[in-house]
Amino acid sequence: MRLLFKSIYPDNDTLSDIVHILHTNTLSGMLVSILAISALTFGFESQQTLHLKTAFWLFMVSLLFFRFADAMYWMKRLRHQRHSAFAAFSRFFVGVTLTALTWATYTIALFPKMPILELATTMVVLSALAGGAATVLGASRTLVWTFCTLLLVPMSVMALLESNKEVNLLGFLGMAFWLTMLNASRKTNRFFMQTMELKKHNQQLVAQMETERNEVIRVNAALKQSNLQLDAINSHLEETVEQRTKDVTRLSNLDPLTMLMNRTGFLKQLSLSIDKCKSHNASLALLFIDLDGFKQVNDSLGHPIGDRVLVKVADVLKQHAPKHNLARWGGDEFIIIIENVSAETATIAALAIRKDIAAPMNIDENEISLDATIGIALCPEHTDDPQRLIQEADLTMYHEKRLRQSHVAVFNTAIYASVRREQQLREGLRIAIEQNAFYLVYQPLICSRTGMVSSFEALIRWQYNDTLISPGEFIPIAERCGIIIHLGEWVLRTACKDAARWQDSRIAVSVNVSVAQLMEDDFVARLSQILSSTGLAPTRLHLEVTESVFADNTTKLTAQINGIKAMGVTISIDDFGTGFSSLSQLHILNFDHIKIDRSFIQALDTTGEPIVRAALLIAGEFGCKTIAEGVETENQAARLKAMGVDCLQGFYFGKPQREETLTQWFHNDK
């Protein structure tokens, strides 16, 4: 068979093209064959032949399925492998022949059992299949002759041998159609081969034209190069001047350390990028990057190392965006433009940048680890103004860094409103004390054993523009803008002055002290001066500190606590159970009271009770009294008293009140 095919198709490329055409043309033919065998099998009701027909139908469908799979395998995997064309053609030839043999076997086996109508229908179907094969298999005359002969001749011969004239007529028509198809296939094959020859000739002409065109290009390039050399000689002086002008312009737009764009150059590039974005109805994201931990590098290793770190970071950023979309905005701040992205993809890109920045750097045997906080603003979704786009990304970065460092966030109106509100509150805080905008309220702490008031906790309130601002909002701002120490001292002095005037000299006042305030070097001296100037006995002052102080300098904290207790002032741990405390630190710092956080009181019916009992056990071991915050119901008060909590505080006993309304508490035996 190989020699036969090589004699007909000596060219491997020609045989490959023929195989591709055959596979492409016969895909629809296979579908028609399935429909034909299905119609003949299930279209004529006969219990006598149903099982045999069904067997032929299953075999035919399976055969056509494997032929279809072979066609797909050829077109997807082997089409460009010319050396496999012979094997593919052989498989195709075998598949077509098996298909025709299946039809021949079908007609031979079922011919005696077919009524005249089914015989006629079968002959029509086989003739139609042969007619289609004369066209779709026209690339191979051998295939056409084989297929048509096996398809029509067996049934036609059997029909001619019958005694029924009508059946004889079917045989005669089948033989006539067979001869017609053989003749038609010769013309189709001749046309196909002429087409293949013409294609091959055209390919040769195209290859020749390509060779000649390349030669023309080479000659033109040589001529052009000669002209360029002549032009270069003539314009050398002009180009030198122009290049120096460009260098000056370029350098004026570059950061000399990182060689990224500076603010001036970046604003020009951002304007161009936004114009392009608007003209193409596209989008871009601007990422404002602030390094986390860079100040410590400068402070500990020096500015030369810090400069090299910035260069390394710039090299990292160049892996994520073209150089013309990068800028060093100043200090340890960088900006990146990323084009054609959504908020989601910009966030993914920012996270990838963070990850690369966070990779350890080794500079002069120093392993340096940084991270980054990144704010993202989108054009045109947020704005198409360059300056405002930068401002929004910067605000987002600042907002995220204020909440938690080393994160990525996308700008939204809530962030803008939050930052604007913080700026307003910052300004208000700076003048609030002079304007008497702050005032104190007091909430009672009830002794669970006697039911009497043991102390009042002083709580600060701020009336700003006729609006009451929550301490949970303005205290963190005061800490960030550096006035918390001044504010804390005002609270402490005011509370001591108020308590000194109270009618019942047994009742103490409890004041919260911030970490920054407590760790001031002169805090103990200032506290002593406040007690002295207000006339409040030290034993009537309770200072509350949160567990977060435990994370700071334990040595200094111990010295501060000892100095405070030496004056007779009581120390309480506030929000116990929610922070950083440990048994060893409780022992070292020698606190007097433990205030159980309100979250555990609210969960008293579920997980809160075991924690309260644990706190009571710890307090007992260290000789501390316990205070339960957030008591809101009679049931909570009764249960906590039964458990042994010393003092109770919450809305059930009284809401925070101004100092002038506390008189009733001094005469009310609760």
Q: Is 460 helix (H, G, I), strand (E, B) or coil?
A: strand
The more confident residue out of 658 and 43 is 658
Residue 430 maps to a domain: no
**Domain match, 289 and 397 both:** yes
The more confident residue out of 179 and 19 is 179
For residue 331, is it left (φ>0), alpha (ψ between -120 and 50) or beta? left
> Of 395, 404, 451, whose CA–CA distance to 423 is shortest?
395
The CATH number of the domain holding residue 346 is 3.30.70.270
Residue 489 has pLDDT above 90, yes or no: yes
For residue 259, is it left (φ>0), alpha (ψ between -120 and 50) or beta? left
- The confidence score (pLDDT) of residue 7 equals 38
**Domain match, 55 and 108 both:** yes
Q: How far, rounded to the nearest angstrom, does the alpha carbon of residue 602 sit from its chain's CA centroid? A: 37
The more confident residue out of 46 and 471 is 471
Average pLDDT over residues 339-359: 93
Q: Last residue of some domain: 155, 188, 221?
A: 188
Residue 349 maps to a domain: yes
- Reported as a pLDDT band with limits 50, 70 and 90, residue 242 is low
Task: Please report where in the chains the tokens 């994520």 appear, as a residue.
Answer: 320
- The confidence score (pLDDT) of residue 669 equals 45
> Of 384, 259, 283, whose CA–CA distance to 338 is shortest?
283
| d(C-alpha 285, C-alpha 646), whole Å | 58
Average pLDDT over residues 241-258: 67
**Domain match, 519 and 630 both:** yes
- How do residues 645-655 score in pLDDT, each as one tens digit? 999 999 999 89
> Of 393, 359, 414, whose CA–CA distance to 289 is shortest?
393
Residue 618 maps to a domain: yes
- The confidence score (pLDDT) of residue 38 equals 81
Average pLDDT over residues 482-506: 90
Tokens coding 158: 């059997």
Average pLDDT over residues 276-294: 93
Q: Is 46 helix (H, G, I), strand (E, B) or coil?
A: coil
Average pLDDT over residues 319-348: 93
- Reported as a pLDDT band with limits 50, 70 and 90, residue 236 is low
Least confident of 9-13, 335-339, 537-541, 569-573: 9-13
| d(C-alpha 122, C-alpha 173), whole Å | 13
Residue 529, Cβ neighbours under 10 Å: how many?
A: 12
Contact 652, 634 (CB under 8 A): yes
> Of 269, 256, 271, 234, whose CA–CA distance to 307 is shortest?
256
Task: Please report where in the chains the tokens 């804390």 appear, as a residue.
Answer: 488
Tokens coding 307: 């400069």
- Listing DSSP states for 272-313 in one string gives HHHHHHHHTT--EEEEEEEEESHHHHHHHH-HHHHHHHHHHH
Residue 487 has pLDDT above 80, yes or no: yes
| d(C-alpha 336, C-alpha 338), whole Å | 6
**Domain match, 152 and 279 both:** no
- The confidence score (pLDDT) of residue 289 equals 95
- How do residues 440-463 score in pLDDT, each as one tens digit? 999 999 999 998 999 999 999 998
Average pLDDT over residues 641-667: 87
Residue 286 has pLDDT above 90, yes or no: yes
Contact 573, 545 (CB under 8 A): yes
What are the helix (H) ranges across 113-140?
A: 116-136
| d(C-alpha 137, C-alpha 127), whole Å | 15
Q: Quick one: CA torsion of 119, 123, 125, 130, rounded to 10 degrees?
A: 160
Residue 424 maps to a domain: no
Residue 267 maps to a domain: yes
- How do residues 572-607 score in pLDDT, each as one tens digit? 988 776 654 555 566 666 789 999 888 899 988 888
- The confidence score (pLDDT) of residue 198 equals 66
- The dihedral built from the CA positions of residue 343, 347, 350 and 352, taken in this order, carries a sign that is negative
**Domain match, 282 and 361 both:** yes
**Domain match, 392 and 510 both:** no
Above pLDDT 90, what percent of the chain?
Answer: 34
| d(C-alpha 118, C-alpha 634), whole Å | 96
Contact 378, 349 (CB under 8 A): no
Pairing between β-strand 508-512 and β-strand 570-576 as defined by DSSP bridges: unpaired
- Reported as a pLDDT band with limits 50, 70 and 90, residue 2 is very low
- The confidence score (pLDDT) of residue 462 equals 93
> Of 84, 33, 89, whose CA–CA distance to 59 is shortest?
33
**Domain match, 484 and 532 both:** yes
422-to-289, 397, 406, 463 alpha-carbon distances in Å:
21, 15, 21, 15
- The confidence score (pLDDT) of residue 33 equals 79
625-to-73, 120, 573, 639 alpha-carbon distances in Å:
83, 108, 10, 17
The CATH number of the domain holding residue 490 is 3.20.20.450
- Helix H or strand E encompassing 469: strand 467-469
Average pLDDT over residues 263-284: 92
Residue 224 maps to a domain: no
Average pLDDT over residues 407-433: 85
- Listing DSSP states for 481-538 in one string gives HT-HHHHHHHHHHHHHHHHHT-S-TT-EEEEE--HHHHTSTTHHHHHHHHHHHHT--G
Residue 247 has pLDDT above 70, yes or no: no
| d(C-alpha 359, C-alpha 380), whole Å | 33
Contact 353, 336 (CB under 8 A): yes
Provide the terminal-to-terminal Cα distance of the chain, rounded to the nearest Å.
114
**Domain match, 405 and 451 both:** no
Domain count, the chain: 3
> Of 450, 458, 544, whose CA–CA distance to 499 is shortest?
458
| d(C-alpha 126, C-alpha 150), whole Å | 10
| d(C-alpha 326, C-alpha 321), whole Å | 7
Tokens coding 535: 């006339």
- The confidence score (pLDDT) of residue 230 equals 63
Domain that holds residue 54: 2-188
Q: Last residue of some domain: 411, 427, 460?
A: 411
What are the helix (H) ranges across 521-633?
A: 523-534, 554-566, 583-589, 598-602, 609-622
Least confident of 49-58, 289-298, 591-600: 49-58
Pairing between β-strand 570-576 and β-strand 371-379 as defined by DSSP bridges: unpaired
Residue 426 maps to a domain: no
- The confidence score (pLDDT) of residue 564 equals 93
- How do residues 157-194 score in pLDDT, each as one tens digit? 888 888 888 878 888 887 888 887 777 767 666 666 66
Neighbour-count burial of 97, counting CB atoms closer than 10 A to its CB (0-12 exposed, 13-18 middle, 19+ buried): middle
| d(C-alpha 31, C-alpha 19), whole Å | 19
- Reported as a pLDDT band with limits 50, 70 and 90, residue 245 is very low
Instruction: Check whether the bond before 444 is cis (ω within 30° of 0).
Output: no
- The confidence score (pLDDT) of residue 319 equals 94
Task: Please report where in the chains the tokens 């905008």 appear, as a residue.
Answer: 437
**Domain match, 180 and 308 both:** no
Measured in degrees and rounded to the nearest 5, phi and psi for residue 656 equal -60, 135
Average pLDDT over residues 288-303: 90
- The confidence score (pLDDT) of residue 566 equals 92
**Domain match, 373 and 505 both:** no
Round the average pLDDT of the chain to a whole number and report it.
83
In terms of average pLDDT, the best of 160-174, 361-375, 546-560, 582-596 is 361-375
| d(C-alpha 141, C-alpha 137), whole Å | 7
**Domain match, 457 and 329 both:** no
Least confident of 38-42, 203-207, 456-460, 661-665: 203-207
| d(C-alpha 354, C-alpha 359), whole Å | 9
| pTM, 2 dp | 0.53
Residue 640 amino acid letter: L
| d(C-alpha 410, C-alpha 346), whole Å | 9
Residue 3 has pLDDT above 50, yes or no: no
Residue 435 maps to a domain: no
Least confident of 235-239, 281-285, 535-539, 646-650: 235-239
Above pLDDT 70, what percent of the chain?
Answer: 84
Q: Last residue of some domain: 141, 167, 188?
A: 188
The more confident residue out of 139 and 581 is 139
| d(C-alpha 491, C-alpha 460), whole Å | 7
**Domain match, 444 and 591 both:** yes
Task: Please report where in the chains the tokens 């390349």 appear, as a residue.
Answer: 214
| d(C-alpha 582, C-alpha 580), whole Å | 7
DSSP category for residue 360: -
> Of 493, 553, 477, whose CA–CA distance to 520 is shortest?
553
